[in-house]
Amino acid sequence: MDDRQEMARLREEIETHNHAYYVLDNPSIQDHEYDALVRRLRMLEAAHPEEAHPDSPTARVGGRAAFSPVRHAVPLESLNDVFTLEELSAFDARVRAALPGPVAYVLEPKVDGLSVALTYEDGRFVSGATRGDGVTGEDVTHNLLTLQTLPEALRGAPARVVVRGEVFMPKAVFRALNAEREAREEPLLANPRNAAAGSLRQLDPEVAARRRLDIVLFNIQDMSGPWPETHREALALMAAWGLPVIPHTVFTALPPLLDAVVRLGDTREEHPFDLDGAVVKLDSLPGRRLLGSTARAPRWAAAYKYPPEQKETRLTDITIQVGRTGVLTPRATLAPVRLAGTTVTNATLHNEDFIRDKDIRVGDTVVVQKAGEIIPEILSVTLSQRPADAVPYVFPDVCPACGAAVVREEGESAARCTGAECPAQRARRLAHFASRGAMDIEGLGPATVDLLLARGLVKTPADLYRLAPADLADLPGFAEKSALNLVAAIDASRQRGLERLLFALGIPQVGQKASVVLAQHFGSLAAIRSAALEALTALRDIGPATAESLRRYLDSPQGAHLIDTLEAAGVRSTAAQPLVSGGRFAGQTFVLTGTLQRHTRDQAARRITAEGGRVSSSVSERTSYVLAGEKAGSKLTKAEALGVPVLTEEDFETLFL
């Protein structure tokens, strides 16, 4: 590949990463990798000025607007990055050569968040926008108003002022948010920058408010009236107006400035925000105007980028955690290593594929890094230091919490415990059992389930049917009437019928639709338990994966024991609706879409199946009717295109007359 081809490839690749970073808020590579691509492109463009391209990403700030566009009165420039102290010294030499007299700099931490411009008029906050491409940003005023540290009114400010700052998610908030997501087994946020950007670009300001974002201001972009002479005076003005100003230090000589840059990197963990560099700015505002800017960045400032800290340590063990949904997550135990200001002893291994692809073994020396300076991750294995007795890791085929079989469905990366009574899954299973679509036990929500588990009153769903009002009397929030009501609701759930019981058991692959099909075909749980795999797979809408999962559950000791104890407790295990061989909808297929007003979808589906009909999730030429509620989407469009009859709820009711 010649230089011209490489430049074209680099431009395209950088633009792809810009889109991921600025528009999607989901960086596709790490910052230092992106910086290396940009530096290589700049070097090639400098060597071949005849190939300079006006649309090159080196000539402008990446990104584009996604919300209502706002054109900045003063462009929000990017900064030139430097990666060594020698490059920072060269920046200083260029500044001193261009300016007469002594030079002073202001050093600020480079906060890794989302850059915004705020406009105040007559002392009141009127609007705020993201940087976007530096010229046009996105209007995020509604979300900026949720920031508790951002004043809506300034003290003694000029008639109009525009200030620039960085919105960030405090690291403590980020850790708490990820802990909640981990407990719910949701994907973890990669870093505070992504979390802040995603929060600030929510349509619902209540979401942004719950994320507890913060902001620091670091520049006056525009203002009416006289300007200060120095940047330090501008920051003092902003603080006097009541704005939260970025921490900063003034230096008049280069050696102490370089020392401070290094110290800032060593102590970055002490700051409440994530930072990925240090910003060095010329203090003199007249000097800034004299130096000016290039097409993309000012000549009077530089951003020193810290490389991500990586260290080697030994992996001493691999343990398995079982989550609330039964997912088995491997975790690496590490010899303690100091990384990004904290001692790291554990790292996530994600899943079985991650371990296999990187060939991670107990005893290996591994390279560890903190993703976003927060989450420890293993980057690679140092094979040259692998012990002779290290063997490939074998993922467990039984659950370490309960001993039940572990399965991994085709196409999934997660392995799951199949145990019906697994202690690691008790809270989720009990809450699901009591949910509205299952046994519909009013008053038994997740909070009450947690109380019952904490007091040792229940372990499995069958234990619910042994509860008496006296057992609940001393629970927080329970009076005599509420205790009686809950016990009555539990008792009433005994008669919900087979289709609800099947769904309530939480059998993988067996959802509400499959539960109805099974209940109506077999009529009783006893018949299902004795059915061969071939009889299950022969049913319409019961595929091989569903049949195998059901058979595996019914044959497991835990599944069989739970069913036996539920039946012993008087829970009805026969179909609530009689088996339908005919009916007015026999042989007809319905698809439900949109928001129904007179029924829930579950109620409408039950009425259809009770008359021998079938409910499908997709529209095809074989669909008999589409029942469409409000805000019906693509299914309605497809039905109209195929000529499938579309029913309103009124039309649906007339079918039963």
Catalytic positions:
110
Cα 598 from Cα 320, distance rounded (Å): 47
Residue 589 Cα distances to 314, 516, 613, angstroms: 59, 14, 6
Exposed/middle/buried for residue 84 (C-beta within 10 Å: 0-12, 13-18, 19+)? exposed
Q: How many CB atoms lie within 10 A of CB 651?
A: 13
Report the distance separating Cα 557 and Cα 420, nearest Å. Answer: 9
State the first-to-last Cα distance of the chain, in angstroms, to the nearest integer.
Answer: 75
User: For tokens 């058991």, what's the residue?
Assistant: 505
How many Cα atoms occupy the beta-carbon half-sphere of 165 within 13 Å? 24
| Spatial contact of 182 and 188, defined as CB atoms under 8 Å apart | yes
User: Coil, helix or strand for 487?
Assistant: helix
Q: 462-466: long-range contacts (C-beta < 8 A, 24 or more apart)? A: 462/562, 462/565, 462/566, 462/568, 462/569, 462/571, 464/430, 464/433, 464/434, 464/490, 465/490, 465/491, 465/494, 465/566, 465/569, 465/570, 465/571, 466/569
Q: What share of the chain is helix, strand, coil (3-state, %, to 5)?
A: 40, 20, 40
Q: Name residues whose C-beta falls within 8 Å of residue 432's C-beta, 6 or more positions apart in sequence.
A: 438, 504, 506
Q: How far is CA 9 from the centre of its chain?
A: 31
Token pair, residue 187, equals: 């994907």
> 158 — alpha (psi -120 to 50), left (phi > 0) or beta?
beta
Q: How far apart, in whole angstroms, are the C-alpha atoms of residue 186 and residue 153?
A: 39
Q: Which two tokens stand for residue 528?
A: 């299902």
Dig out the tokens for 391 from the structure. 């063997």
Whole-angstrom Cα distance, residue 503 to residue 429? 11
Separation in Å, CA 216 to CA 113, 190, 279, 504 = 10, 22, 14, 50
- The tokens describing 208, both together, are 């942004």
CB atoms within 10 A of CB 119: 20
Q: Which residues of 561-592 are buried (b: 16+ CB within 10 A; e: fewer)?
A: ebbebbeeeebbbebbbeebeeeebeebbbbb
Q: Say if CB 540 and CB 513 are below 8 A apart.
A: no
Asked if 339 contacts 314 with a C-beta cutoff of 8 angstroms, the reply is: no
Beta carbons of 146 and 213 less than 8 angstroms apart: yes
Question: Two tokens at 425?
Answer: 């899954």
- HEC string of 417-438 equals ECCCCCHHHHHHHHHHHHCCCC
Task: For residue 312, give the H/E element and its range.
Answer: strand 310-322
